[in-house]
Amino acid sequence: SSSVSRATCRASSSSPPPHRPPRLAMATRGLEGWHAAHSERFGAERWQDLHHAMHREVDPLLFLNPFLPPIVAEALEEEYSLVLSSVPGAYSFEMPENPTFQCRLEEFPHENAFFVEVQGPAGDGVSPFALLDGAQLLVAHALQVEEGDEVLDACAAPGGKALVLAGALFARAAAEGRRLTGRLVANESSKRRAAELQRVVRRYAHPVVFEAHGSGAAHIIFTSADLSTPSNSMERNGPYDRILLDVPSTNDHVLLKGHGANTLEQWSMGKLKVHADKQVKLLHNALWLLKEGGIVLYSVTALSKEETDDVIEAVVRKASGKFVLEILPLDQHILCMVPALAAEQTHWGTHLLPDTSGFGPRYFSRIRLVKRTHAAVEHLRW
């Protein structure tokens, strides 16, 4: 693979007063370091626009529960004045005045996710919709899951992307009364967040997906394993046709808004390196869980090249001699989900940025495991 050159860190071009020593390097910590690093990467003019866009609140989209009976979906479309967005199954909306359709929200502010229980009419005991960030919906669609696939959502909490995946796998068959095929393993390493994940998904998915079938297992399985450790429950439920790996990363939008201990004063280049090292390990380990021909989608909320393209390049190099990999281009129908077709192609993936698309920041890269070339091809092992 071709290497990606790193930009050299330079000081501001404005000359310091004569009595000061010249600045030899830009700041690498805190608010000043954050601005300097991204101005260096995007250019000063683009960074000014992007920084301004990140101050804007991102309006979530209303994702209709794909397991809803049609009559309930139609009533919600009218009451919430739904207008279909560029993302399938997701709508812009207006909150209704009718108290029958007003709802309670369970909020996950860091993920811009709101999970809903309606106090009035719903259908089949499932929650009717969720309010979710358009970028995370798009990423789940970009995995291109089909009925019959074995799918792993490796870092699934709080559950928005898992709802998209479950709908693609099971909603049509459940509505038509057909036998369900395929499986979704929804994993979250944090025990607390794993409990939240299970509560959310059970609230939305049709009860039939949780029933044991011929193999003795349900079609949706919840696990709480760490992908960085060997012999875990994700491995025992594999191998997989598709893996969604939305790994922990720098969330620049959250840092900018300054929630609790998460502020830009805690930002540093050193922390980016720590995140990136773990991300490389998680993505490399995920490759071992794929079937030949399977696809892993790596996704982060970070702006930095260290946690985006550099991670993919490092994994491609690390996988040399073990796997033949293919970096998949962005398909036209996925590109059409991005407002104004504003997905930005990078060397190894795609970046959605709020100054051009209104989505994000969100980066993703799709990697196909073409072939295993290591000796132990018959066993999944670390």
Other C-beta atoms closer than 10 Å to the C-beta of 45 total: 9
DSSP 126: B
Distance CA 49, CA 64 (A): 33
> Closest Cα to residue 61, out of 143, 164, 171, 152?
164
Three-class DSSP category at 75:
helix
Q: Mention every residue, 6+ apart, whose C-beta is less than 8 A from residue 272.
A: 250, 302, 304, 306, 307
- pLDDT of amino acid 37: 94
The one-letter amino acid code at 225 reads A
d(CA 251, CA 27) in angstroms, rounded, equals 20
Least confident of 103-112, 126-135, 304-313: 103-112
**Would strands 183-187 and 220-223 be described as parallel, antiparallel, or unpaired?**
parallel
Residue 226: Cβ within 10 Å count: 13
- Which among 94, 159, 96 is positioned nearest to 132, based on CA atoms? 159
Dihedral of the alpha carbons of 111, 54, 362, 26, in degrees to the nearest 10? -120
Quote the pTM value. 0.88
SS3 content of the chain, % helix, strand, coil (to 5): 35, 20, 40
Give the mean model confidence (pLDDT) for residues 57-63: 90
**What span, in angstroms and rounded, lies between the C-alpha atoms of 90 and 62?**
5
List pLDDT tens digits, range 11-28: 233 334 444 444 445 678
As a whole number, mean pLDDT of residues 120-138 equals 80
Q: Mind listing the pLDDT tens digit for each residue in 338-375? A: 987 789 999 999 999 999 998 999 999 999 999 998 76
Q: What is the DSSP string of 237-284?
A: T--EEEEEEE-----HHHHHHTBTTBSGGG-BHHHHHHHHHHHHHHHH
Distance between CA 245 and CA 312 in Å, rounded? 12
